[in-house]
Structure formats: C-alpha cells, structure tokens
Amino acid sequence: MNTSFRFLILTIFITLGFITSCNDEITPTKEEKPSVNNTNIASTGTSSSKDTTEDPPYDVDEIDKINPENLSREIKEIGVKIERLETESIRHFDEYAQIAEIQKRILENIKIKKMIMRSKPVGSEEEKIAKIDFENSKKYGKEKLQILKEKNILLSKLTKSITEAKNEKEKLEKKQEYVLRRQKEKNQL
C-alpha cells in the first residue's frame, strides 16, 4: 500500500511536469520570439548550464577575484576537518555506549542494595551498613550519570560541528562550481 502511494505521487509529479512542459511550448507573439529562442538555445546546452538571464547568486566582482585553487584547498581542509570530527564523534559515541552500559549495571546494583537495606531489621547495625553501602552506590551512580550527560552534550556539539562543516563544504563546492563556470564563460567570449 505504501509503495502504491509512492507510485501515485510519482505519477502525479510526472503528469504535472508534462503539463508544465507542454505549456512552455506555446508560441509567443512575434515580438517575443527572438528573446525566447535565445533563452531556449542557451538552456539546451548542457544539463548543468543555467539561463544566462538569471541573477548571479554571488557578487560578480568578488567571484572574478577568487582563485579556484584556493577554493579547492579550503574544500579539502574542510573535508579533513569533517573526517577528524567524525572519527572523534565515533570514539566519543563508543565511550558513551560503554558508560551507558556501566550506568545500567550501577542502577541494577542500586536496586539490589536497596532491597537488601529494606530486608534488614530496622535500626540494626546490618541496616546501617546496608544503608551506607546503598548511599555510596547511589552517589557513584549520580557521578556516572553526570559523566554520561556531559558526554551526551559533547556528542551533540560534535554533531552540530559536523553538520556546520558539511554545510560550509557544500557552499564552497557550489561557489567553486560557479567560479569555474564563470571562468569558462569568460574564456569562451
């Protein structure tokens, strides 16, 4: 059933695309023909070329001053940074998983010590010893829980840093693509 909805949605989009493309082919008035034909010729080149009448996404003067090799170096540096952050994130996640397992065992141990403490006669020396043991286990569990929380915050920050670095890399790659396309267009003139 889920698959049939996917195909239905795909069919709707294909149909809408077909209808839209059919509307694009309506012949304009005689005054508009030359400009429309020029944009059609420009857009039929390669699939990655864009309409030359678009506003550039970057400041043209700034783009003309950019060296593509510098962009490549920045992209490579960010790629190295992403790999380092991902490696660090994996290491911290493994530590987080280990601490979480330890925390589970501590909680089980606390439950057992609490049952032992409650099973001892009230006011007896055995109850006092069991209570001290229970409180020490509880304190140890809280310390480990704090470490677990700090590790969670660290992992969250690492994930955010990785996402930001990947976004920055993507922006630089798009900018590099635009710079190269702009230089190619300038060389063709």
pLDDT, tens digit, 9 for 90 and up, residues 65-119: 778 788 889 999 999 999 999 999 999 999 999 988 998 999 999 999 889 888 9
pLDDT reported for residue 56? 59
Query: With bands split at pLDDT 50, 70 and 90, how would you rate the model's confidence at 55?
Result: low
Residue type at 109 in one-letter notation: N
pLDDT reported for residue 165? 95
pLDDT reported for residue 68? 79
Q: What are phi and psi of 173, to 5 degrees?
A: -65, -40
Q: List pLDDT tens digits, range 1-25.
A: 444 444 445 455 445 554 444 444 4
Q: Which residue has the higher pLDDT, 59 or 66?
A: 66
pLDDT reported for residue 180? 86
User: If you average pLDDT over residues 26-50, what whole number do you get?
Assistant: 42
Query: With bands split at pLDDT 50, 70 and 90, how would you rate the model's confidence at 57?
Result: low
pLDDT above 90 for 159: yes
d(C-alpha 28, C-alpha 51), whole Å: 18
Q: Which residue has the higher pLDDT, 40 or 123?
A: 123
User: If you average pLDDT over residues 150-173, what whole number do you get?
Assistant: 93
Q: List pLDDT tens digits, range 115-147.
A: 988 898 888 999 899 999 999 999 998 998 899
d(C-alpha 131, C-alpha 177), whole Å: 68
Q: Nearest Cα to 117, choosing from 104, 102, 129?
A: 129
pLDDT reported for residue 41? 38
Q: Is the pTM of this model over 0.95?
A: no
Q: Half-sphere exposure of 133 toward its Cβ, with a 13 Å CA cutoff?
A: 17
